[in-house]
Every structure is written in C-alpha cells, then in structure tokens.
C-alpha cells in the first residue's frame, strides 16, 4: 500500500475484488448493508469474470473492518479470495450503490 493514511480516522479508498460464488446470492446487497453500517460510501458491482468489485471510501478503520467482513465466513455465497488495493479518496461518492 502507498503511504495513504497516517491513522485510523484518516480517509482512504479501498478497492477489493472478491472471487468465489458471490454473484446471484445477495452478496452485493450484504456488502451495501455492512458498508452503510460502517458509514462508508462506494459501490459493489458484478464483473463479467464472476467477481464482485467493492469500492469504499471512509475512515481507514471502517474500510479495514469492511475488508475483514468480506473475508469472513459470514458472507452470502462463498468467498474464495479477496484482492485489495488502497488509495487516496477521490471524494466523488455520496452513497453506497449496488451496480
């Protein structure tokens, strides 16, 4: 990760690509609900290769918690892996959308 944030309250942008059985099982809805509970904005979108791309902006602590939840056994479907990328927030997101 770049030197993006100095502390748990610093704003960051998390992009996570989730693979496994994650389409058609309520996964995007579940991600949206968890993200809203954490005060994050962003989106969860199905990709053509059957992965789900999750983009979230907010505090580092909230984004790290969302990443933990994406990797937890409590997700809908079955997650076989998550690849993450961290960056600076763009500030262009106002809600959390399912796409």
With b for 16 or more beta-carbon neighbours within 10 A and e for fewer, the 34-61 pattern comes to: bbeebebbbbbebeeeebbbbbbbbbbe
To the query of whether residue 48 is one of the catalytic residues in this protein, the response is: no
To the query of whether residue 19 is one of the catalytic residues in this protein, the response is: no
Catalytic residue among 13, 19, 28, 71: 28
Catalytic residue among 13, 19, 34, 46: 46
Residues forming the active site: 28, 46
């Amino acid at each position: 990760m770049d030197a993006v944030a100095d502390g748990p309250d610093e704003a960051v942008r998390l992009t996570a690509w989730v693979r496994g059985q994650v389409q058609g099982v309520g996964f995007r809805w579940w991600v949206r609900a968890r993200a809203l509970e954490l005060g994050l904005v962003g989106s969860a979108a199905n990709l053509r290769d059957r992965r789900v791309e999750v983009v979230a902006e907010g505090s580092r602590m909230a984004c790290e918690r969302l990443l933990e939840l994406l990797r937890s056994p409590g997700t809908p479907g079955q997650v076989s892996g998550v690849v993450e990328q961290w960056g600076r927030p763009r500030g262009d997101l106002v809600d959390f959308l399912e796409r």
